[in-house]
C-alpha cells in the first residue's frame, strides 16, 4: 500500500500542458545523438554481411581487405572468442539457442554479420567489405512460417521443427463443447506483415577502453542502458563495473532499441582488442534489413457467440515468425507470450484456450516493436466482433457493449489469470460512439463522391503497461525487470538533479518527471534536471519500454521527492523555530501555516550546504533522497474510430478522420500524451496501409530503403481529435498509467474495421495488414452481395 | 552506404565538360543535381571512376521561347520550371509547371535538373513523360559536335538513352504546344515515384480534339505513348469524347513490368483510371 500525496496548496504542475523542454534542442538540431559525440581518434566500423539467407560458412578470407591502406583490422567470430548473446526464458516450452556476435559456422539471414572491419573511415571500411571473400554452401531458406515443415535443414539443431517456443499457457477442457453448442462460431485466420520500427536515428555506438578507470566506455543509442551493460559484460567476460554505458539523446526507440544488438558487442570487443576507440553508425540499409523486425504473425481463431452476440469462448492458435535468433534480453518468447496472455483485451470471455508459438525463419530476429502483439490481438478481437455482428445482425457498437468488462465487474479476473484494476472500457466505447455521431461521420459516408466508398471503423481496447517484477517474474527471464530507483539531490542553489534508470528515446521525460517532482517540492519544474542514460551516474534500472518510464520511474521520483520534501520542511522548521508538521512547500518557499513566516527554498539549500553548523539537530548532511517503485502493472484503455475512403479508381485508401478516446489515468502533461497518441497512430497507419519488410522466396530483403519501406509522412496523416477520460491507478503515488503504445495498438484494428465497413457489400473480408491497393482492387472486383444472390 | 572511390572534376564550359569525359572514358559520369546518381553511388549500384560536375557551366540554366518551341537549358532546376507560370513564356506548355510539382519533395526539386532527369531516364519521371508528350528535341554536345535526338528515339530501355557516354545533354526543346493538358499520377505515398502516371495533351479546334498525345509512365521500362487511344480521341467532338474507350485502350495496350499477376492487373487498372482522369482534367483546362 502506498501513501497518497497530500495535495495541500502546492502549485499543481501535474496536468499542465507544459511545452517539452527537450523540444528546443530537438527542433533546432542541437540535440546530441550517439554519432554527434565527437572523438578525434575514433576508428570506424562496418560489417561484412551475408548475402545468403541460409547456409554453412566454408571459409572467410580477410587478407585482401587488410592490404587496403587505412584498414586496421578485420575480425571474425574466432577473433572474438566465438562470443555469443543468449536471450532465453527458463521454461520447458522454450528452446535455448545462442546468437553468435559474428556468424559462426552458419549464416541464418541476409545481412547477418560475418566479420567486422575497422578502418580509419567508413568509406575505407566499406571498400574493405568488398575485399573480404567467403564461401557459403547454401540451404533452402525458411522464409514463410509454413516453409519450416518442408525444409529438412533446421535453422537451429536444437529445434528440428523450427519451433523455438511453444506455449500452451491457457487450457480449458470444456471449451470445445462450449463452441460446439454456441449459436455461431466465427472461424477466421488473421495475418500481419513483418515490420521494422524505422526510428529516425538508427542504431549506433562508440566504444573506448579507458585504462584509468579500468573500463570499457560504450556510448550507445539504446532504451536499456543497464541491460546493454550486462549483455556486453557477459559476452566479453567483464565485470559489470568494467562496462560503462552512456546514452545521449536517442532519436526514437519504439522497442527497436529495447535490445542489445550483436553489432554493439562487436564494436565494444574490437575497441577492447585493439585498445583504440571505435565507432559505428548504422545506415538505413542495415537498419531496415539487418537489425530487428517484428509483427509477422498469424492467428487462427474460433470464437463462439450466443444468439445475442455474447462471447461464449475463444480458441486461438498463434504463430509468430520470430526470425533467425532469440534477441537479448527479451527473447523470441516476447511476442508469443504477450499475444496469448493479453488476447482477451477489454472483453469478458468465459472460456479461453490458446497455443502460441515462435517459429524460426531466415530473417532478422524479431524484437519488441511498440505495442508488442497488442496491435494484432486487438485487430483479431475487433475483427471477430465485426464478423459476429454481421452474422448475427447486431450493431457493431452494440455487440461490443454486450461483451465489454463494465465498471461493476472490477476488479475483474479473466480466464487469462489477470486481474484488471478499474478502467473506463464501456465509458470509452460510449463516448467514442457518441463522438462519431456528433462528428457527422455517417452523413460523410453518404456524401462520398461517385467512385469513392467510405466506411467507419471502431475499436475498443486496453494496453497493459508498466510491468513490475511481480508480473515480469512470471515470464521467467534469467533477469526480471520491473522496479526503478530514483535519486534526488538539491544543490546549493536550490536546483534539483534527479536520476533515473529509465531512458528517454524522445518521449519528454525531462519535462514530465520534473512536473511530478515540482509538485512535491513546491518549486518550478525548470529547477529540476533529469539525468538519465549513464550506468555510472544512475542507479541500476530497467530502461524504457512498455509504458513503464513515467509510471515506474516517475513513481520512484515521486517517492524520492516526498522524502526530500520532508527534509526541506525539517530544515525550515529548525531555521524558523516551528514544528515541521506546520511547514508547507509552496511557490519556492517553506511557509508556516497560519503565520506569515517563510523562508525560501533557495535559502534552505544554501544553508544546508554552506552553513551546516547552524543545523545542530540534523543527523544527515546535504539534501538527498531516493525512492523506488515496483507496481505489478496496469491497463490503460481507449477506443478509436476512423473514417476511411477507398478510391475505386486507384484502389488507394485514405484515412479521412480519426477519433480517439484515451484513458491513461492521471495525465501529467496533455501535450505529451497527445503527441504519443498521434505518433502511435502514424505508426499504426503505416502498419495497416504502407509498411512491410517483405522478402523474396529465397530470403532476400525487398525493402532496403525508404523508397520501398513506406513509412507514412505527414501527408498521409488524418486529422486526429483526442478525448480524455481519467481513471487513476494508485499502484504508484502519481495515479498515472502508461500510454506510449495505445496509438499503435488501436490503428490497425480500427482501419481494418472501417475498410470492411466500406466493403460490406462485397462478400469478402480483409483479415490481414498491410492492405495494399492490389488487395483492394481484388475485393472491388468481386461481385456485390446483391449481384451474387 | 558510402560511395566507392571516385575522382572529382569541375567543368566550367560545355566544351570543357565534353573534353574531360572524352578523356576520362566510359567509367566517368557527369553529375548535375545528383538526386538520383548520389543515392545510387551510396548503394554502390553506380561506381563511376570520376564525376564531372557540370553545375558550374553558366549558360545551361534558362527557359526561353523560340517561336512555338519552349527551349529549356539542361541545368534548369525542377523548382525553376515549377515556378515558371508566366503565360507569355509558358503558353501551350502550362502542364510543365504542374508536372514539376509531382517531382519528389521541394528540397529535391531545388537541386535536381531537367537534364539530369532525362539522362537518368526513369520511366516514371515526369520530364521523361513530358518530353514524349510535347515531342521534345534533345540537343547533345559531343566530341564530334552537336546532334539532336527526338524524344521518341531517346529512351532505349530502362535507365538507358540514345546519348553516348561522352555526350552532354545541353538543351531540351519542347516543340508542340497544346491548349489543353493534364497529368494524372498515383503513388501510394506523397512525393514518391509514380506507381503509374498518365499525361494527356491536345488542342481544340472547331470544338474538336486534335494533336492528341497520351503518354504513360511508370508501367513499362520507358514512358510509352498510347497510340490507339490517341487515335480514338483525335477529331472527337469535345462534348462526345469516348473517355471509356480511350482508357480501356490505354490499359489494354500496356505491358506492365510486374511479374506478379495481381500487381500487373493492378497497374493495368491504374492506367485505365489515370487515363480517364487525365482526359477529364485536360478537357477542364480547355474550358477555363
Phi-psi category of residue A331: left, alpha or beta, with phi > 0 → left and psi -120 to 50 → alpha = left
In a domain, A185, yes or no: no
Q: pLDDT tens-digit profile of A99-147? A: 999 999 999 999 999 999 999 999 999 999 999 999 999 999 999 999 8
The DSSP line for A344-363 is: TTTB--S-EEEEEEEEE-SS
What are the residue boundaries of the structural domains of chain B, listed by start?
Answer: 7-53, 61-174, 180-287
Cell reading at A116? 567486422
Question: Using the beta-carbon criterion (under 8 Å), do B2 and A122 form an inter-chain contact?
Answer: yes
Q: Which residues contact B231 (CB under 8 A, 6 or more apart)?
A: none
State yes or no: pLDDT of A487 exceeds 50.
Answer: yes
Give the pLDDT of residue A149.
Answer: 76
* Alpha-helical segments (H) within A588-654: 601-610
**A757 & A672 share domain:** yes
Overall domain count for chain A = 3
| The predicted structure's pLDDT at residue A1 | 36
Which residue among A606, A629, A652 closes a domain?
A629
- Asked if residue A472 is part of any domain, the answer here is no
End position of a domain, from candidates A602, A629, A656: A629
Beta-ladder partners of A300: A189, A317
- Nearest residue on chain A to B42, alpha-carbon basis: A123
Average pLDDT estimate for B219-233:
97
* pLDDT computed for residue B229 by the predictor: 98
User: B44–A713: do the CB atoms touch at under 8 Å?
Assistant: no
pLDDT of residue A2: 40
A373's torsion region: left (phi>0), alpha (psi -120 to 50) or beta?
A: left
Residues of B whose CB is below 8 A from A689: 188
Measured between alpha carbons, how far is A475 from A438 in angstroms, rounded to an integer?
44
Q: Does residue B112 carry a pLDDT above 80?
A: yes
What CATH fold (topology level) applies to the domain B61-174?
Answer: 3.30.465
* Claim to verify: residue A572 and residue A651 sit in the same structural domain: no
A606 and A500 belong to one structural domain: yes
pLDDT digits (tens, 9 = 90+) for A286-339: 999 999 999 999 999 999 999 999 999 999 999 999 999 999 999 999 999 999
Q: Is the pLDDT of residue A150 over 80?
A: no
Q: Please give the average per-residue pLDDT across A192-211, as a whole number.
A: 97
* Phi, psi for B147 (deg, rounded to 5): -150, 165
C-alpha distances in Å from residue A104, one per residue of A156, A174, A233? 12, 48, 20
Q: Which of A2-16, A351-365, A519-533, A665-679 has the lowest mean pLDDT?
A: A2-16
Considering only CB atoms, which chain A residues are within 8 Å of B262? 774, 777-778
* DSSP classification of residue B94: T
Check: complex ipTM more than 0.85: yes
Instruction: Please enumerate in sequence order all residues whose Cβ is within 8 A of that of A503, keeping only pairs 6 or more positions apart, or say none.
Output: A222, A223, A224, A225, A247, A250, A532, A533, A541, A543, A544, A549
Whether residue B288 has pLDDT greater than 80: no
* pLDDT tier, A11 (very low <50, low <70, confident <90, very high otherwise): low
Q: Is A30 exposed, middle or buried (0-12, 13-18, 19+ CB in 10 A)?
A: exposed
Segment A219-235 mean pLDDT: 98
Q: Which of A49, A141, A114, A50 is nearest to A361 (CA)?
A: A141
Would the CB atoms of A650 and B273 count as touching at under 8 Å?
yes
- A770 preceded by a cis bond (ω within 30 of 0): yes
Domain containing residue A525: CATH number:
3.30.365.10
C-alpha A568/C-alpha A570 separation (Å) is: 5
Answer whether residue A183 shows pLDDT above 60.
yes
In a domain, A385, yes or no: yes
List the end-to-end C-alpha distance of chain A, in Å, as a whole number. 63
CB contact under 8 A, A651 and B269: yes
Beta partners for residue B208, in sequence order: B205, B237
Answer yes or no: do A401 and A452 share one domain: yes
Q: Tell me the percentage of chain A whose pLDDT exceeds 90.
A: 95
Top residue of B44, B189, B262 to mutate, by most chain A CBs within 10 Å, is B189
Q: Which three cell numbers, joined as nine digits, stand for B8?
A: 572529382
Other CB atoms within 10 A of residue A406 CB: 12
Range of the domain at A712: 373-467+632-782
Does a structural domain hold residue A328?
no
Length of chain A as a residue count? 789
Please report, for the domain that includes residue A57, its CATH number. 3.90.1170.50
Strand pairing class (B28-31; B50-53) = parallel
Question: Which of 2.40.50.140, 3.30.43.10, 3.40.50.720, 3.90.1300.10 is the CATH number of B7-53?
Answer: 3.30.43.10
Residues in contact with A579: Cβ distance below 8 Å, sequence separation at least 6, in sequence order: A573
Check if the beta carbon of residue A686 is closer than 8 Å to that of residue A745: no
B189 → closest Cβ in A122, A650, A712: A712
Whether A750 is in a domain gets the answer: yes
Separation between Cα atoms, residue A309 and residue A207, nearest integer Å: 59
User: Looking at residue A787, what is its pLDDT?
Assistant: 65
Do A655 and A768 fall within a single domain? yes
**Would you say A740 and A678 are in contact if contact means Cβ atoms under 8 Å apart?**
no
- Asked whether residue A194 carries a pLDDT value surpassing 60, the answer given is yes
Query: Are B192 and A707 an interchain contact pair (Cβ–Cβ within 8 Å)?
Result: yes
Confidence of residue A3 (pLDDT cuts 50, 70, 90): very low
Which chain B residue's Cα is nearest to A653? B188
Give me the half-sphere count of Cα atoms (radius 13 Å) on the Cβ side of residue A633. Answer: 21
pLDDT in tens, A557-604: 999 999 999 999 999 999 999 999 999 999 999 999 989 899 999 999
Same structural domain, A75 and A209: yes
- Best A130, A773, A778 member to test B by mutation, with max B CBs in 10 Å, is A773
Closest residue to B1, CB basis, from A285, A689, A716: A285
Contacts of B273 in chain A (CB under 8 A): 649-650
pLDDT over 80 (residue A668)? yes
Specify the fold of B180-287: Enolase-like; domain 1 (3.30.390)
Q: In the predicted model, what is the mean pLDDT of chain A?
A: 96
B195 contacts on A by Cβ (under 8 Å): 773
Determine the distance in angstroms separating the CA of B140 from the nearest CA of chain A, rounded to an integer: 31
pLDDT of B56: 95
In a domain, A299, yes or no: no
Domain boundary, last residue among A560, A594, A629: A629
A652 contacts in chain B (CB < 8 Å) = 186, 188
Q: What is the pLDDT of residues A53-83, one digit of tens each?
A: 999 999 999 999 999 999 999 999 999 999 9
CA distance A163 to A370: 24
* Residue A9 confidence (pLDDT): 44
Contact A44, A122 (CB under 8 A): yes
Q: Are A650 and A569 members of one domain?
A: no
Contact, A751 vs A644, CB < 8 A? yes
> Which of B188, B263, B276 lies at the smallest CB-CB distance from A690?
B188
Tell me, yes or no, whether A52 and A72 share the same domain: yes
Residue A405 forms part of a structural domain: yes
What are the cell numbers at A713? 509522412
Alpha-carbon distance A718 to A722, whole Å? 13
Q: What's the start-to-end Cα distance of chain B, in Å?
A: 49
Tell me the pLDDT tens digit for each residue of B6-40: 999 999 999 999 999 999 999 999 999 999 999 99
The grid cell for A500 is 533515473
Is residue A155 reached through a cis peptide bond, with omega within 30 degrees of 0 on the bond before it?
no
> Does A6 score more than 70 pLDDT?
no
State how far the Cα of A496 lies from the Cα of A525, in Å rounded to an integer. Answer: 9
CB atoms within 10 A of CB A200: 9
Q: Whose CA is closest to A539, among A633, A468, A625?
A: A625
A81, A225: one domain: yes
State the SS3 of A204-222.
EEEEEEECCCCEEEEEECC
Residue A422 counted as domain residue: yes
Counted across chains A and B, CB pairs separated by less than 8 A come out at 62
The residue that leads in pLDDT, B100 or A12, is B100
Buried b (16+ CB within 10 A) or exposed e, A699-734: bbbebbeeeebbbbbeebebebebbbbebbbbbbbb
For the stretch A75-83, contacts whose Cβ atoms lie closer than 8 Å and that sit 24 or more positions apart, written own/partner, are A75/A102, A75/A115, A75/A116, A75/A118, A75/A266, A75/A269, A75/A270, A75/A273, A76/A102, A76/A114, A76/A115, A77/A101, A77/A102, A77/A103, A77/A104, A78/A104, A79/A273, A80/A266, A80/A269, A83/A235, A83/A236, A83/A265, A83/A269
Tell me which residue in A123, A127, A690 faces B189 most closely, judged by beta carbons: A690
Residues A624 and A698 in one domain: no
Per the listing, cell 477519433 goes with A659
DSSP element (H, E) containing A749: helix A742-758
How far apart are the CA of B193 and the nearest CA of chain A, in angstroms? 8
**What pLDDT score does B287 carry?**
58
Q: Which residue has the cell 523470441?
A: A332
Beta bridge partners of A496: A490, A528
- Are A108 and A699 contacting, i.e. CB atoms less than 8 angstroms apart? no
Q: What is the DSSP string of A490-505?
A: E-TTS-EEEEES---S
The answer for residues whose C-beta is within 8 angstroms of residue A191's C-beta and 6 or more apart is A297, A298, A299, A767, A768, A769
Amino acid at each position: 500500500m502506498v501513501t497518497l500525496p497530500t495535495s495541500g496548496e502546492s502549485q499543481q504542475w501535474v496536468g499542465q500542458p507544459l511545452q517539452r523542454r527537450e523540444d528546443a534542442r530537438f527542433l533546432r538540431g542541437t540535440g546530441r545523438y550517439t554519432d554527434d559525440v565527437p572523438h578525434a581518434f575514433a576508428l570506424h566500423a562496418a560489417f561484412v554481411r551475408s548475402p545468403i539467407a541460409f547456409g554453412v560458412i566454408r571459409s572467410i578470407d580477410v587478407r585482401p581487405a587488410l592490404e587496403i591502406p587505412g584498414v586496421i583490422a578485420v575480425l571474425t567470430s574466432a577473433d572474438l572468442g566465438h562470443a555469443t548473446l543468449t536471450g532465453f526464458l527458463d521454461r520447458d516450452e522454450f528452446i535455448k539457442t545462442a546468437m553468435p556476435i559474428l556468424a559462426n559456422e552458419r549464416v541464418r539471414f541476409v545481412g547477418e554479420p560475418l566479420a567486422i572491419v575497422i578502418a580509419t573511415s567508413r568509406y575505407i571500411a566499406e571498400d574493405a567489405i568488398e575485399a573480404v571473400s567467403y564461401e557459403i554452401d547454401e540451404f533452402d531458406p525458411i522464409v514463410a512460417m509454413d516453409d519450416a515443415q518442408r525444409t529438412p535443414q533446421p535453422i537451429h539443431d536444437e529445434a528440428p521443427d523450427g519451433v523455438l517456443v511453444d506455449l500452451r499457457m491457457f487450457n480449458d477442457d470444456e471449451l470445445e463443447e462450449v463452441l460446439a453448442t454456441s449459436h455461431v462460431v466465427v472461424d477466421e485466420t488473421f495475418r500481419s506483415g513483418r515490420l521494422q520500427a524505422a526510428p529516425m536515428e538508427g542504431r549506433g555506438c562508440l566504444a573506448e577502453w579507458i585504462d584509468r578507470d579500468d573500463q570499457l566506455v560504450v556510448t550507445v543509442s539504446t532504451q536499456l542502458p543497464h541491460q546493454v551493460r550486462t549483455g556486453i559484460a557477459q559476452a566479453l567476460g567483464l565485470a559489470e563495473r568494467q562496462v560503462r554505458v552512456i546514452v545521449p539523446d536517442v532519436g526514437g526507440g519504439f522497442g527497436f532499441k529495447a535490445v542489445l544488438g550483436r553489432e554493439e558487442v562487436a564494436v565494444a570487443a574490437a575497441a577492447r582488442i585493439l585498445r583504440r576507440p571505435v565507432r559505428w553508425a548504422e545506415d538505413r540499409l542495415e537498419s531496415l534489413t539487418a537489425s530487428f523486425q517484428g509483427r509477422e504473425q498469424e492467428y487462427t481463431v474460433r470464437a463462439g457467440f450466443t444468439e445475442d452476440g455474447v462471447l461464449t469462448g475463444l480458441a486461438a492458435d498463434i504463430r509468430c515468425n520470430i526470425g533467425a535468433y532469440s534477441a537479448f534480453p527479451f527473447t523470441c518468447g516476447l511476442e508469443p507470450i504477450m499475444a496469448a496472455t493479453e488476447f482477451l483485451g477489454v472483453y469478458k470471455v468465459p472460456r479461453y484456450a490458446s497455443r502460441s508459438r515462435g517459429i524460426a525463419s531466415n530473417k532478422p530476429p524479431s524484437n519488441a516493436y511498440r505495442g508488442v502483439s497488442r496491435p494484432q490481438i486487438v485487430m483479431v478481437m475487433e475483427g471477430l466482433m465485426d464478423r459476429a455482428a454481421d452474422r448475427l445482425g447486431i450493431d457493431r457498437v452494440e455487440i461490443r457493449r454486450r461483451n465489454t468488462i463494465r465498471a461493476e465487474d472490477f476488479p475483474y479476473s479473466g480466464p487469462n489469470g489477470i486481474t484488471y484494476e478499474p478502467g473506463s472500457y464501456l465509458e470509452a466505447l460510449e463516448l467514442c460512439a457518441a463522438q462519431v455521431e456528433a462528428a457527422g461521420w455517417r452523413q460523410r459516408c453518404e456524401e462520398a463522391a461517385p467512385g469513392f466508398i467510405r466506411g467507419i471503423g471502431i475499436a475498443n481496447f486496453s494496453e497493459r503497461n508498466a510491468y513490475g517484477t511481480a508480473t515480469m517474474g512470471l515470464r521467467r527471464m534469467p533477469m526480471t525487470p520491473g522496479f526503478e530507483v530514483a535519486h534526488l539531490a538539491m544543490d546549493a542553489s536550490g536546483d534539483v538533479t534527479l536520476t533515473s534508470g529509465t531512458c528517454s528515446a524522445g518521449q519528454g521525460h525531462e519535462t514530465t518527471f520534473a512536473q511530478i517532482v515540482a509538485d512535491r517540492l513546491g518549486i518550478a519544474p525548470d529547477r529540476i534536471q533529469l539525468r538519465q542514460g549513464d550506468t555510472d551516474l544512475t542507479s541500476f534500472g530497467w530502461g524504457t519500454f512498455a509504458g513503464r518510464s513515467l509510471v515506474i520511474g516517475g513513481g520512484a521520483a515521486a517517492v524520492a521527492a516526498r522524502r526530500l520534501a520532508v527534509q526541506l520542511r525539517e530544515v525550515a522548521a529548525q531555521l524558523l523555530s516551528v514544528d515541521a508538521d506546520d511547514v508547507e512547500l509552496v511557490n519556492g518557499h517553506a511557509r508556516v501555516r497560519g503565520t506569515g513566516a517563510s523562508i525560501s527554498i533557495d535559502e534552505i539549500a544554501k544553508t544546508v550546504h554552506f552553513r551546516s553548523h547552524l543545523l545542530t539537530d540534523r543527523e544527515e548532511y546535504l539534501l538527498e533522497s531516493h525512492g523506488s517503485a515496483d507496481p505489478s502493472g496496469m491497463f490503460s484503455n481507449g477506443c478509436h474510430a476512423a473514417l476511411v475512403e477507398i478510391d475505386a479508381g486507384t484502389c488507394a485508401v485514405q484515412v479521412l478522420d480519426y477519433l480517439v478516446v484515451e484513458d491513461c489515468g492521471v495525465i501529467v502533461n496533455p501535450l505529451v500524451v497527445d503527441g504519443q497518441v498521434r505518433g502511435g497512430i502514424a505508426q499504426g497507419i503505416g502498419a495497416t496501409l504502407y509498411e512491410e519488410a517483405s522478402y523474396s522466396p529465397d530470403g532476400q530483403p525487398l525493402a532496403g530503403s525508404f523508397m520501398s519501406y513506406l513509412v507514412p509522412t505527414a501527408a498521409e496523416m488524418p486529422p486526429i481529435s483526442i478525448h480524455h477520460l481519467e481513471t487513476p491507478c494508485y499502484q504508484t503515488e502519481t495515479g498515472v498509467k502508461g500510454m506510449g503504445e495505445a496509438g499503435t495498438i488501436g490503428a490497425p484494428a480500427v482501419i481494418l474495421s472501417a475498410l470492411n465497413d466500406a466493403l460490406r457489400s462485397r462478400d469478402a473480408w480483409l483479415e490481414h495488414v498491410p492492405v495494399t491497393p492490389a488487395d483492394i482492387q481484388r475485393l472491388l472486383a468481386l461481385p456485390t452481395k446483391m449481384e451474387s444472390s | 552506404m558510402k560511395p566507392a572511390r571516385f575522382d572529382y572534376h569541375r567543368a566550367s564550359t560545355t566544351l570543357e565538360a565534353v573534353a574531360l569525359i572524352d578523356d576520362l572514358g566510359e567509367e566517368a559520369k557527369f553529375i548535375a543535381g545528383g538526386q538520383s546518381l548520389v543515392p545510387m553511388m551510396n548503394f554502390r549500384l553506380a561506381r563511376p571512376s570520376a564525376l564531372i560536375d557540370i553545375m558550374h557551366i553558366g549558360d545551361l540554366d534558362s527557359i526561353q521561347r523560340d517561336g512555338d518551341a519552349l527551349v529549356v537549358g539542361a541545368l534548369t532546376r525542377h523548382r525553376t520550371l515549377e515556378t515558371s507560370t508566366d503565360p507569355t513564356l509558358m503558353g501551350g506548355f502550362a502542364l510543365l509547371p504542374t508536372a514539376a510539382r509531382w517531382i519528389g519533395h521541394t528540397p529535391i526539386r531545388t537541386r535536381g535538373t531537367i537534364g539530369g532527369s532525362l539522362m537518368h531516364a526513369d520511366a516514371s519521371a515526369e520530364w521523361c513523360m513530358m518530353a514524349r508528350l510535347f515531342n521534345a528535341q534533345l540537343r547533345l554536345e559531343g566530341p564530334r559536335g552537336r546532334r539532336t535526338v527526338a524524344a521518341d528515339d531517346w529512351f532505349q530501355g530502362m535507365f538507358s538513352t540514345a546519348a553516348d557516354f561522352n555526350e552532354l545533354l545541353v538543351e531540351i526543346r519542347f516543340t508542340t504546344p497544346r491548349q489543353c493538358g493534364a497529368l494524372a499520377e498515383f503513388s501510394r505515398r506523397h512525393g514518391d515515384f509514380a506507381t503509374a502516371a498518365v499525361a494527356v495533351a491536345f488542342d481544340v479546334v472547331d470544338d474538336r480534339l486534335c494533336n492528341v498525345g497520351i503518354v504513360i509512365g511508370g508501367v513499362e521500362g520507358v514512358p510509352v505513348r498510347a497510340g490507339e487511344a490517341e487515335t480514338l480521341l483525335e477529331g472527337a467532338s469535345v462534348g462526345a469524347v469516348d473517355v471509356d474507350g480511350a482508357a480501356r485502350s490505354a490499359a489494354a495496350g500496356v505491358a506492365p513490368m510486374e511479374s506478379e499477376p495481381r500487381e500487373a492487373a493492378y497497374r493495368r487498372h491504374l492506367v485505365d483510371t489515370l487515363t480517364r482522369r487525365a482526359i477529364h482534367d485536360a478537357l477542364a483546362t480547355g474550358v477555363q
